[in-house]
Amino acid sequence: MENKKPTEISSSKMFEGFNKRYKHYSPTLGCSMNFHIYFPPSSSPDQKFPVLYWLSGLTCTDENFIAKSGAQRVASTEGIALIVPDTSPRGLNVEGESDSWDFGVGAGFYLNATVEKWKNWQMYDYVVKELPQLLSENFPQLDTSRASITGHSMGGHGALTIYLKNLDKYKSVSAFSPIVNPINCPWGQKAFTNYLGDDKTAWEEYDATCLIAKYNDVAATILIDQGDDDKFLHENQLLPSKFDEACRAAKAPLLLRMQPGYDHSYFFIASFIDDHIRHHAQALNP
């Protein structure tokens, strides 16, 4: 069996800190996984950094955000470590896993699949349980008890649902163009049917618009940025107004910012990522 301890596979200096990529064997997923950490510059050997998890969207790996977002500049000045996992198990060769871009490989939806064929797709447990434990056991410079979570599109869905179900584990949440009501959009319906079966009540456990009614003791304002020129917004994949309504009903603090002219891309993310890092810094470094 491969080593469960993470092995460093690359390192690049950036804004006086370091982007480092690691691989490890994940017992949760039953395969080898990669993840990135951006370590901000350290002012003393015993300095410990809070962590901000970034969950990426459909088709992404652990590399997209690190290469394209520019988040490291403000993470460096705010003293926050960025943790970027992959988006699904890889290399398991499950029949049909790569047949479509919005399901299977690169499309784990940050849930625990219950359908037998996809039993290795346990990204919820990987992000919430395995990865934080791995980090706390192997990287003494990280303070995993001070954690926040953010993400884009499918990863925005993951960040919101994981945060709402684990309000004791994360200080704050934000998202870019998240899939906030997956039970009512084509991406979510396809993924949930395949991963979770036909029981719609099981689907609601991974739908932020459903969860906010139950888990609304939110301390920090939920920050969402959504481009109004996003084609997936107009195809009714994202449905931010549904989440907005649900937050109002639950009296949960939401700042939903519609950004004129922006699309669904990393150009959009790079334009507003500084705001998101600072939003989390307020919660992580009070």
Are the C-beta atoms of 108 and 102 separated by less than 8 Å? no
Residue 128 is classified by DSSP as I
Taking the CB of residue 190, how many other CB atoms lie within 10 A of it?
16
Query: What are the DSSP calls for 12-46, one per residue?
Result: EEETTEEEEEEEEEETTTTEEEEEEEEEPP-SSTT
Question: 256: which strand partners?
Answer: 224
Tokens of 102: 């919005």
Residue spans of beta strands (DSSP E) within the chain: 7-14, 17-26, 31-39, 49-55, 81-85, 142-152, 173-176, 222-227, 254-259
Indicate which residues carry an active-site annotation. 153, 230, 264
The terminus-to-terminus CA distance of the chain in angstroms comes to 42
